[in-house]
Amino acid sequence: MDFPAYPLADYLAHRVAIDEAMRRVAASRAHILGPEVEAFEREFGTFLGGAHVVGVGNGTDAIELALRGCGVSQGQLVAVPSHTAVASVAAIERAGAVPVFVDVAMDTMTLDPAALDIAWQATGGTIKAVVVVHLYGCAADMGRLCAWCRERGVILIEDAAQAHGARWEGQPLGTIGDAGAFSFYPTKNLGAIGDAGAVVSRAAGLPHRIRELRQYGWRDRYVSAVPGVNSRLDELQAAILRCKLGGLDAANARRRSLAALYAEGLADLPITLPFAPPGTEHAFHLFVVRTERRDALESFLRERSIPVARHYPLGVHRQPAYEGRIATFPEGLPATEQIVSRILSLPLHPHLEVAHVRAVVAAIREFFCRREK
Ligand SMILES: *Cc1c(COP(=O)(O)O)cnc(C)c1O
């Protein structure tokens, strides 16, 4: 059975509108920070329930600029899970800050508020900011994290790169903390045809600072008020994102219904299924199961041409660029270590058919039944 690749299938589903949008931008007078970026910022803000949106070059830049815009500076400590895309951590170092790895909760696989206490003690209460990652589209424990940060005057940044349209207690993820960072990398729930990202906030002051930072620190044209970067959202990408935004809720609903089909088909197997905490809406960017027989199951599915993957094969603290360089406390990261050894991402995106999910379920059932004989 052939599994369609997501970015291409998503383009084909929006082809007429996207082709028209690309022609419109090419033939326009404004190729940088023009009407498409402005319109997308407004429309994505409305989608997020009235947040301010500033388009930037990619999701990694969005995290870096959110940290800088919130006042995180050179040498300050920023807590972050190790079980995440490397980008979450790379952005902290790009902002000049120092990552502090914190373990995740076993159920949601997102930042564990109890583990934050350990980091707080170990650092003598010097953590300046927390980057929480809504990994796979699952909301982190925002109730406890917001309270924890508020009590200590710690800045809370949401890495919502996998959580477009997901919610916690009715609030869109990315709009709850001091700032939210989105990526529109082609594989994301809302994906461009190239790199793109955005910084989101409810407060009025931050967007202004991000607008300066994203373009050479300009306050007025050719006059830099602060040291900035070049990280602008592209007009072409903004126009493409506008074509897809209207269908995002329906695409997420489709992901959820396919996820429910997986859950139903796999419920009686010795597999840990994704967990959506009560009061949250999961975006199912990925459908990640856990099993002690991960390696064998992975090979079994690959032999049957089922595209599975590990997100991610190593905790960031085990990646060669970071290992030994960034402290993990004596307690280590036991939940992260166990999770990384057991995770497997099954195929899931809105352009899959029910038959694809049924085929994957059948193959997984065959794997576990064979082994039991
Ligand atoms: C994709 C992703 C990023 C980085 O986004 P880019 O646009 O590739 O820079 C950051 N964090 C998480 C959790 C991601 O999945």
Torsion over CA: 39, 43, 49, 55 (sign): negative
Q: What gap in Å lies between CA 348 and CA 3, rounded to an integer? A: 10
Q: What is the mean pLDDT of the chain?
A: 97
Q: Report pLDDT digits (tens) over 215-242.
A: 999 999 999 999 999 999 999 999 999 9
Q: Does the CB atom of residue 161 touch ligand 1 within 6 A? A: yes
Read off the pLDDT of each residue in 282-295 and give the average, rounded to a whole number: 98
Measure 88 CA to ligand 1 centroid, in angstroms. 7
Point out the ligand 1 atom lying closest to the alpha carbon of residue 187.
1
Measure 161 CA to ligand 1 centroid, in angstroms. 5
How distant is the alpha carbon of residue 134 from its chain centre?
A: 6
- Least confident span in 31-45, 316-330, 347-361: 316-330
Neighbour order of strands in the sheet with 155-159 = 52-56, 197-201, 179-183, 155-159, 127-133, 77-81, 98-102
Q: Does the CB atom of residue 84 touch ligand 1 within 6 A? A: yes
Instruction: Tell me what pLDDT residue 370 has.
Output: 83
- The pick from 6, 56, 58, 60 for probing ligand 1's pocket by mutation, whose C-beta has the most ligand atoms within 8 angstroms, reads 60
Q: What gap in Å lies between CA 78 and CA 116, rounded to an integer? A: 11
Instruction: Tell me what pLDDT residue 372 has.
Output: 53
Q: For ligand 1, atom 6, name the residue with the nearest CA.
A: 59
Q: Does the CB atom of residue 345 touch ligand 1 within 6 A? A: no
Residue 297 in this model has a pLDDT that exceeds 70:
yes
Residue 371 in this model has a pLDDT that exceeds 70:
no
Length of the chain as a residue count: 373
Measure 166 CA to ligand 1 centroid, in angstroms. 16
Q: Report pLDDT digits (tens) over 250-274.
A: 999 999 999 999 999 999 999 999 9
- The pick from 6, 61, 63, 88 for probing ligand 1's pocket by mutation, whose C-beta has the most ligand atoms within 8 angstroms, reads 88
Q: Report pLDDT digits (tens) over 170-217.
A: 999 999 999 999 999 999 999 999 999 999 999 999 999 999 999 999
Read off the pLDDT of each residue in 122-138 and give the average, rounded to a whole number: 97
Q: Does the CB atom of residue 185 touch ligand 1 within 6 A? A: yes
Read off the pLDDT of each residue in 84-101 and give the average, rounded to a whole number: 98
Read off the pLDDT of each residue in 25-30 and give the average, rounded to a whole number: 96
Neighbour order of strands in the sheet with 280-281 = 171-172, 167-168, 280-281
Point out the ligand 1 atom lying closest to the alpha carbon of residue 134.
13
Measure 160 CA to ligand 1 centroid, in angstroms. 9
What pTM, to 2 d.p., does this model score? 0.98
Measure 234 CA to ligand 1 centroid, in angstroms. 17
Instruction: Tell me what pLDDT residue 327 has.
Output: 78
CB–CB of 113/141 below 8 Å?
yes
Instruction: Tell me what pLDDT residue 331 has.
Output: 83
Q: Does the CB atom of residue 133 touch ligand 1 within 6 A? A: yes
CB–CB of 100/119 below 8 Å?
yes
pLDDT grade, residue 322 (50/70/90)?
very high
Q: Does the CB atom of residue 162 touch ligand 1 within 6 A? A: yes
Point out the ligand 1 atom lying closest to the alpha carbon of residue 91.
10
pLDDT grade, residue 328 (50/70/90)?
confident
Return contacts of 363-371, CB within 8 angstroms, 24+ apart: 363/300, 363/301, 363/304, 363/306, 364/265, 364/266, 364/269, 364/271, 364/297, 364/301, 365/265, 365/266, 365/269, 367/296, 367/297, 367/300, 367/301, 368/269, 368/270, 368/271, 371/293, 371/296
Instruction: Tell me what pLDDT residue 373 has.
Output: 47
Q: What gap in Å lies between CA 198 and CA 180, rounded to an integer? A: 8
Q: What gap in Å lies between CA 294 and CA 100, rounded to an integer? A: 29
Q: Does the CB atom of residue 197 touch ligand 1 within 6 A? A: yes
Residue 59 in this model has a pLDDT that exceeds 90:
yes
Q: What gap in Å lies between CA 134 and CA 216, rounded to an integer? A: 30
pLDDT grade, residue 114 (50/70/90)?
very high
Q: What gap in Å lies between CA 339 and CA 330, rounded to an integer? A: 19
